[in-house]
Structure 1
Amino acid sequence: MDVDTARDSRFYAELKRELLAALPELGIDKLGIASCEPFVALKDRLLRHRELGYESGFEEPDLDKRTDPSLLFDRPQSMISIAIAYPSKLSNAPKSEPGARRGILARASWGEDYHKVLRDRMERLERWLRERVPEVRTENMVDTGALSDRAVAERAGIGWSAKNCCIITPEFGSWVYLGEMLTNLPLPPDTPITDQCGSCTKCIDACPTGALVGPGQLNSSLCISFITQTKGFVEDQVMRKIGNRLYGCDTCQIVCPVNKGKNWTHQHELQPDPEVVKPLLVPLLTIGNKEFKHQYGHTSSAWRGKKPIQRNAVIALGNFREESAVPDLISVLLQDPRPVLRGTAGWALGRIGTPEALRALEQAAGREMDEEALAMIRRALQQDNSAPEDAAQGKGHA
């Protein structure tokens, strides 16, 4: 069904004005309108990105679908981009200290899963539009849609596409979740915001692994946020740079001058539980599926299951060189059924380097059957821990 052609541009301009006034009741912090022409320049960048091997593998593989709204929706007339602000500071954060070391989840996974929150806001928006234009057609996308959230948001004037590959809004900084709606309503488009990064390169300079290979250019395979979500073995030097991160990485946003002092607490579903987002590490080593689902199932960090978070907890204990965790790490090394966890525990014990840890590594080296885990254990027995501690180890985290 198409919209009533008798409605003129003044109707849709007024509809947009009413919509912007209704944003607080819809729970939306910012909204912009974009036209539906193909993203030609973006497609060229994505092709180059693919040629360089910078993709994460989580993206929609069809570049035409990522850049042409008409392939996803019958005769689209406009795209609505929304932004919801989330918190950047943790109130009453528990201390991470010897004997009680803690990890940290990235801010984008604090509170309730943002996919659910954004879908709720999109549904509110859709109902609002349908009450006023019954024949409206819509297609909502949240993070996992084919289109680039950032490209739509940039065209819709939500913010500019920054050097750290985030959308930065003048009002909320980059602490925003993005979603978009394709529609058959010919709403008047907004004007994109001029890039305001200027000559600043703080995000590029601060990236722990050099994953920001240029302004707005990310090598996903080096990005700690991506690496913490993988399930396999991680290279030694990368593990040292992971620090105590359990899921995601906020460094490039923390150092951004635009984000300084910005913290948003008005979206109640997104407020964090300090014990969930900054948990004790040792209990994570043996957390069961039921307990993991109870503690993390409502967050976006749970989508890959418990194994990556458990592996990252092992890495964090190694980076802390937490001697009190040696018995727990030895249990993982000798008893865990998963080779990645056994090998990573060997790395962590090698980092800690106490006599008890080294004896366990010797024992494991004589019984480990998995080739990759065994290689990791053998390297742990030979590793040099004299290198200076990585500056990213917990720095800048809550």
Structure 2
Amino acid sequence: MNAAELEQLADELGIDVVGAAPAEPYEETEQHIRDRRARGLFADMRFTMAQPEVSCHPEQLLPNARTVVSAALCYYHEEPDRPPGHGRLPRYTWYDAYAELREKLDELGRRLGGAYRVLVDENQHVDREAAARSGVGFYGKNTLLITRRFGSWVVLGTLVTDRELEPTTPLALDCGSCTLCIEACPTGALDEPGTLDATKCLSYWTQSAHDPPEAYREALESQVYGCDICQDVCPWNRGIEKRRAGQPLPTNAEPHVDLVDWLASDPSELRRRYARLYVPRNDGRFLQRNARIALANEQVAT
């Protein structure tokens, strides 16, 4: 299958961006992960960083793997006004876009034929590297994958197949001299362009089993999970934001959560309601910890 045929098939399935690359080792990415881990920049995060000997070797993820197909699905919607007493969620968690992309990639695998494996937001594969190699996007200084038409407002997934597909061309794009994300990060997590220091990242601290440092709690403001600051300021995101301005939210979207409701809920029930979020030890009390911080910040602000 050539690149044009792959793009047509992806378009039929509702995939926003697609590309293909040979199923070969990600040697530079593997070394980058090992270097960051040695410097302690991952804190206690695991995910694809825990075993780069697995996550950077797509050729080992499927017998006779020939091609990695990278796919991106845009999840951007305008944020409505936040009601008082409510906390904010990052856009990618307003609804489960990963589940939607997983279904689309599974159908893509069936249409391609042959053996395949779908990996979406999983420890075993670095989806961003497949996306960069196949021209789906490029690495930004905020470490996120930036696409040409949708900026970084995308979730990524990969299909490893034993079919040999025509490779697509990597994008000859970068951030140039722009440093807006670096300047906007309130905790300096991006001071080294292209390298995230998780020990300073607000998103990391909302997902950590350790309590956020006092110095970072005020910076979280009303955020109860994740952080979108480095995406909110990115010029590559202006296009999709303008194109989708004024569009209604999906019926299942949840941009804000009631902080008092979170605190009053049974932790196990709260965890079940937000199964799409990563929660340390699957313990809803960590979500309630974040809600207490957001509520305290709101009381200070008023």
Counterparts of 1:9-24 in structure 2, within 5 Å, are 12-13=1-2, 16-24=3-11
- Counterpart in 1 of 2:261? 283
Equivalent pairs, count: 295
Q: 2:127 aligns with which of 125, 132, 149?
A: 149
CA-CA distance at 1:257 after TM superposition: 0.9
- Counterpart in 2 of 1:26? 13
Q: 1:57 aligns with which of 42, 45, 54?
A: 45
| Contact 1:211-1:220 at 8 Å conserved across structures | yes
2:155 is aligned with what amino acid?
Y
Q: 2:141 aligns with which of 158, 163, 188?
A: 163
CA-CA distance at 1:72 after TM superposition: 2.1
- 1:231-286 deviations in Å (ceiling 9; x for gaps): 33221111111111011000000000111252476xx9x83656x32122222211
1:195 is aligned with what amino acid?
L
Structure with greater contact order relative to length (CA < 8 Å, sep ≥ 6): 2
1:185 is aligned with what amino acid?
R
Find the aligned partners of 2:177 and 2:121 in 1 and give their Cα distance: 29
* Root mean square deviation, CA, Å: 2.4
Larger Rg: 1
- Counterpart in 2 of 1:126? 109
| Contact 2:268-2:284 at 8 Å conserved across structures | no
CA-CA distance at 1:22 after TM superposition: 2.4
Find the aligned partners of 1:272 and 1:35 in 2 and give their Cα distance: 38
Find the aligned partners of 1:51 and 1:272 in 2 and give their Cα distance: 44
CA-CA distance at 1:302 after TM superposition: 6.3
SS at match of 2:86: coil
TM-score, normalized by length of structure 2? 0.89
- Counterpart in 2 of 1:104? 88
- 1:76-127 deviations in Å (ceiling 9; x for gaps): 211100010112412xx3543xxx322100011011x233212111111112
2:233 is aligned with what amino acid?
V
TM-score, normalized by length of structure 1? 0.69
| Contact 2:206-2:212 at 8 Å conserved across structures | no
Counterparts of 1:309-324 in structure 2, within 5 Å, are 309-321=287-299
CA-CA distance at 1:209 after TM superposition: 1.1
Q: 1:79 aligns with which of 68, 85, 105?
A: 68
| Contact 2:181-2:234 at 8 Å conserved across structures | yes
Counterparts of 1:201-220 in structure 2, within 5 Å, are 201-220=179-198
| Contact 2:87-2:291 at 8 Å conserved across structures | yes
1:307 is aligned with what amino acid?
R
- Higher normalized helix content (fraction of residues): 1
Find the aligned partners of 1:31 and 1:104 in 2 and give their Cα distance: 30
- Counterpart in 2 of 1:384? none
| Contact 1:247-1:301 at 8 Å conserved across structures | no
Q: 1:271 aligns with which of 250, 254, 274?
A: 250
| Contact 2:136-2:170 at 8 Å conserved across structures | yes
1:23 is aligned with what amino acid?
A
Percent of aligned positions with the same letter in both sequences?
A: 33
1:86 is aligned with what amino acid?
Y
2:109 is aligned with what amino acid?
E
SS at match of 2:47: coil
| Contact 2:74-2:154 at 8 Å conserved across structures | yes
**Structure 2: gaps (5+ residues):** none
Find the aligned partners of 1:115 and 1:169 in 2 and give their Cα distance: 17
| Contact 1:40-1:67 at 8 Å conserved across structures | yes
| Contact 1:162-1:195 at 8 Å conserved across structures | no
SS at match of 1:178: strand
2:62 is aligned with what amino acid?
F
Distance 1:211 1:72, change over 3 A: same
CA-CA distance at 1:206 after TM superposition: 0.8
Counterparts of 1:1-398 in structure 2, within 5 Å, are 12-13=1-2, 16-55=3-42, 56-60=44-48, 61-90=50-79, 93-96=80-83, 100-111=84-95, 113-130=96-113, 136-263=114-241, 271=250, 273=252, 276-289=254-267, 292=270, 295-297=273-275, 299-300=276-277, 304-321=282-299
Q: Please, which moves more after superposition, 100-109 or 151-160?
A: 100-109
SS at match of 1:240: helix
Q: Please, which moves more after superposition, 280-289 or 197-206?
A: 280-289
